Structure 1
C-alpha cells in the first residue's frame, strides 16, 4: 500500500512541476535596460587601447549622467575637458564613486561644480590623451543640464590609499588634508609640480602657468581640494586645484627660539582593539601643550608590546629601542600643531577598523602601514598588533627628539594592561618621565624605569571597539598635571564621527583639558 501511495505522490508532483513550467508570457517581468552607464562600469571597458562606445559594449546605454566637478574659472585645468563623477546606481557605498573626463571643447567652461548633466556618449571613443582617460567625439549639443547647485561629493585621499588603487581616484574630486610642502616655504610660489606629504607618503600637486592663483606663496601645510589627474609623462597621479579657494593654508608659524618644555606633547587617547583586524588600524591621539613644528624639532613615538610571544624575551636590554616584536618606533619630521590641539600617529586614517569612517580631516603627523613595514630607524619588526591587548603591560611613549637612549626621558609615557611580563631588571627597562603616573625620583633615589621603585601605575586593558581616552587637566604654564588622568572609554562603530573622540561627551568623564 505504501509503495502505491508513493507512486501516486510522484505522479502528482511531476504534474505540478509541468504546470509550473507552462507559464504565460505575461507572467514575466519586462526589464528595460538603462540608457545610462556609470563611470565605474564605463572605465572597466578600457583595457589600454581606444574603445568605441557602442550599445553592444555598454549594454544598451547611450549616455552618462553625473555632477560636474571641473571649474575652468581658475584656468588650471586641461582645456576642453568636462569632468563629471557619479555613483553606481546599484551601490550604496562611496567606493563606487568614479570620475571621468569628457572632451567637449570650449563648452567645458560653460559648466560649474554642482551642475547635474546628462551627456550622450554613443559613438564616442574612450581613450587616453596626454595621460588622461577621457571620452572624445562628444559635442556641446550632446550635453543636457538637468539641475544646478547639487551638493558635491569628494573622496579623501592619502598616499597610502592612492598608491593602492590609483584608478579609483582618477578624474574624481579629492581632498588631501594637512599636507606638508618642502622646501622654500613662504618664498616659492604654487606654480609647477610640488611634492607634498600628508603623513603617509609623498604625492604631487600640479599648478599650471596659466592658473590665476599661481603666484600665491607656498605655505608649510595646507588642505588641498582638486581633481586627481595623471601627469602627461609617466602617468603619476597629481592633484590639480581648480581655483584659489581649493588651496587652504593650515600651517602655523612657530618661533624656533622658544625652547620645549618638559612635556611639549602629552598622550590623550588610543584605539588598541578596533573592529575586524588590528593590523594597520590602531592609532594614538596626542595633544600639544605648546605650538610645535616637527620640521624644526623632530619627535619620535614608541610603542611596546610585551605579550608572551613577543621577542626578544626577557628584560628589554635596549629599553624603548629593544625592537623586533617588543617595541616599534615612528619618527615625526613633518607637520605643525597648535597649542591645545590633537594630533595622531598610527595606521590607516579610519575611526574604527576596516570599512569605517575616514577621519583624515584631523591632524595625522604619521600614517604608516606598520603591519607591512618595519619601524623607523630599524626599531621594530612589522607587526599586526602595535598596541598590545594581552595580559602583560603595553606602553606608549613620545620623545621630543629622535636619538633615544636607554635612560632618555620622554615627553610623556603611559602603560596599560596586566601585571605580568619582564619589564624591569638588571638595570634595564622602559624609561619614564615625571608625570601624573610616574616619578624619576623617590625622594633622593633615582627610579628612571617603569616597574622600578614606585613606578608601578598601570591603566586597565582597553575594550574591543572602544576608544580609550584619558582625561585629566594639564597646566601648560605650570608644566604639570593638576588633575590626574584615568582610563575612560567610548564605544565606536564603523560610522562614528570624529567628534566622538575629540569633543567632550555628555554623561561621560571629560576628555583631556589644557589650561593656561
Structure 2
C-alpha cells in the first residue's frame, strides 16, 4: 500500500495546476495531495468548506476504492477509499453521485480534486460532498486490499480510525439468535466476545438475501459510524458482497498481551474451540528464546533457505488436536509479525499429519510485508487454507509449523506479535468443526 500511495502522490504532481513547471525551490513547493488522515482531522463537529488554506495548500486527495458500489450494498451515490501512510490506514467517503460511483471499481487507485468541496457527516460516515465527474481521475486498477483484522470493541472505541476502512471481524453471532426473522436487511445486531455492532445490508442488495449462519461467522466489510447526540458512536459494518460473509469462526487464537519468556517458554492458546484440545505455541530446537513484550520471540540463526531452516529446527510450532470425534476444517490463518532488520524475511507455513515425520506446505514461500522499524508488528495478509486438501476434514492430530530463513545476523529476532488493544490476537486459525 505504501508503494501505491507514493505512486499516487507522484502522478498527482503531474496532473493538475497545483504543481508548478518551474517551482521555486528556495521558497518550497507545497504538496498538492493531502492525506486522508489530515482531511479527517479537520472535522470538528460541523460542516466545513475545504479551502486551499485549510488544506495547507493542497487541492486533492488520493486512495484506493475499497467497496463494490455496483454490487449494491453501499449508500446511494457514495464510494469509500482508503490509503496507508506511515503504517496507519485511514478511510473516507465521497459523495460523487450514482453515475460517477458506478464507474469506480473495487481496487481502483483514484485521485479526487477536493478544493472548495464540503466536509460533512451523514449516512453514517464522514464524507467529502460535491465531488463531480471532472474531479475524478482513475490512475490505475486492480489493487489488492487486505482487510484489517480487528474486534468489535476496537470499532467501538476507535471509530474514527476504522470508519470507511475495510475490516474483518471474526466469531460474530446474532445477539438474539432465537429471533424467527434473522436478516441482514435493515441491520442485524451481532456480537463477538468483545462487543457488538450491526451488520447492514441495503434492501434488494445481494447481501440482504443471504441466510444468517447458525454458527459464529466472520464478517468483512466497510465500517461506518453514526453518532448520537450524546456523541456515542453506533457502528455498522457493510459487507460488499456475499463472499464477505464467511461461515467460519476462530478455532484457535493467541492473545500475547502481558506475555514474555519470564512467564514460560511456551504459550497456550487463549481462545480454543470446544471441539479442540488446548494448543501450545513453542519454539524449535534451533531457536533461542528472546525477551519481548506482548510477543512470542526468538533469535533466529542464519539459514540460507527453507531446507536449512528445516534441518536446523528454525520454526515456531503448535498442534491442532480434535476431540469429541470432531471433524475439523481449517480455512484461514492470520498472523502479526514483528521482524527486526537483519532477521528472516522469508517464511512458510507447513503441517504434518503423521506426528511430525513429514511436513508438507500449507502456503507458498511468503515474504514479510511491512517495516522492520514498526515495533507494534505488522498484520500480514490473510492466508487462505481452503485449497489445502489435507486439512479440510481431519479428525487426527496435526502439527503446524512456520519456518523462517534469510537472516543476515544471528542475533536478530523474528517474532509473532505484538498483541494490541485493537488487535488482541497475534495468531489466529479460523475454520469449522463438526461432530459426527
TM-score scaled to structure 2, two decimals? 0.56
Q: Which residue of 1 aligns with 2:293?
A: 277
Alignment of 1:183-194 (within 5 A): 183-184=177-178, 188-194=182-188
Out of 217, 220, 224, which is 1:222 matched to?
217
Q: Which residue of 2 aligns with 1:67?
A: 64
8 A contact 1:98–1:169 mirrored in 2: yes
Q: Which residue of 2 aligns with 1:296?
A: none
Q: 1:41 to 1:215 in 2, by over 3 A?
A: same
Out of 66, 75, 78, which is 2:75 matched to?
78
C-alpha deviation, 1:175, in angstroms: 1.6
8 A contact 2:294–2:417 mirrored in 1: no
Q: 1:493 to 1:184 in 2, by over 3 A?
A: farther
C-alpha deviation, 1:110, in angstroms: 1.5
Aligned length: 294
C-alpha deviation, 1:205, in angstroms: 1.2
Q: Which residue of 2 aligns with 1:102?
A: 94
SS of 2:279's partner is strand
8 A contact 1:265–1:286 mirrored in 2: no
SS of 1:266's partner is coil
Q: Distance in 1 between matches of 2:46 and 2:119?
A: 8
C-alpha deviation, 1:98, in angstroms: 0.7
SS of 1:56's partner is coil
Q: 1:359 to 1:82 in 2, by over 3 A?
A: closer
Q: Which residue of 2 aligns with 1:39?
A: 36
Q: Distance in 2 between matches of 1:160 and 1:357?
A: 20
Q: Which blocks of at least 5 consecutive residues in structure 2 are unaligned? A: 1-22, 251-273, 284-288, 298-316, 340-374, 384-393, 405-411, 419-425, 430-436
The reply on whether 1:113 has 2:110 as its aligned counterpart is no
Q: Which residue of 1 aligns with 2:342?
A: none
Q: Distance in 2 between matches of 1:360 and 1:197?
A: 24
SS of 1:54's partner is coil
The reply on whether 1:156 has 2:149 as its aligned counterpart is yes
SS of 2:101's partner is helix
Larger Rg: 1 or 2? 1
8 A contact 1:103–1:136 mirrored in 2: yes
Q: Deviations over 1:298-353 (max 9, x none)?
A: xxxxxxxxxxxxxxxxxxxxxxxxxxxxxxxxxxxxxxx85386999xxx985679
8 A contact 1:196–1:202 mirrored in 2: yes
Higher RCO structure, 1 or 2 (CA under 8 Å, sep 6+): 2
Q: Distance in 2 between matches of 1:27 and 1:270?
A: 58
Q: Distance in 2 between matches of 1:105 and 1:343?
A: 37
C-alpha deviation, 1:46, in angstroms: 0.8
State the Cα RMSD in Å: 4.5
8 A contact 1:204–1:237 mirrored in 2: yes
Q: Distance in 2 between matches of 1:341 and 1:152?
A: 22
Q: Distance in 2 between matches of 1:72 and 1:33?
A: 33
8 A contact 1:266–1:286 mirrored in 2: no
Out of 365, 369, 376, which is 1:355 matched to?
376
Q: 1:156 to 1:185 in 2, by over 3 A?
A: farther
Q: Distance in 1 between matches of 2:36 and 2:414?
A: 30
Q: Which residue of 1 aligns with 2:189?
A: 195
8 A contact 1:158–1:200 mirrored in 2: yes
SS of 1:168's partner is helix
Alignment of 1:391-430 (within 5 A): none
Q: Distance in 1 between matches of 2:292 and 2:122?
A: 41
Q: Which blocks of at least 5 consecutive residues in structure 1 are unaligned? A: 1-25, 253-262, 293-336, 363-474, 504-516
C-alpha deviation, 1:246, in angstroms: 1.6
Q: Which residue of 2 aligns with 1:249?
A: 247
Q: 1:32 to 1:243 in 2, by over 3 A?
A: same
Q: Distance in 1 between matches of 2:122 and 2:395?
A: 56
8 A contact 2:207–2:239 mirrored in 1: no
Alignment of 1:155-174 (within 5 A): 155-174=148-167
Q: 1:269 to 1:140 in 2, by over 3 A?
A: same
Q: Which residue of 1 aligns with 2:258?
A: none
Q: Which residue of 2 aligns with 1:58?
A: 55
SS of 2:34's partner is coil
Alignment of 1:258-407 (within 5 A): 265-270=276-281, 276-278=292-294, 287-290=320-323, 338-339=327-328, 355-358=376-379
8 A contact 2:90–2:162 mirrored in 1: yes
Q: Which residue of 2 aligns with 1:436?
A: none
Q: 1:270 to 1:198 in 2, by over 3 A?
A: farther
Q: 1:360 to 1:61 in 2, by over 3 A?
A: closer
Q: Which residue of 1 aligns with 2:346?
A: none
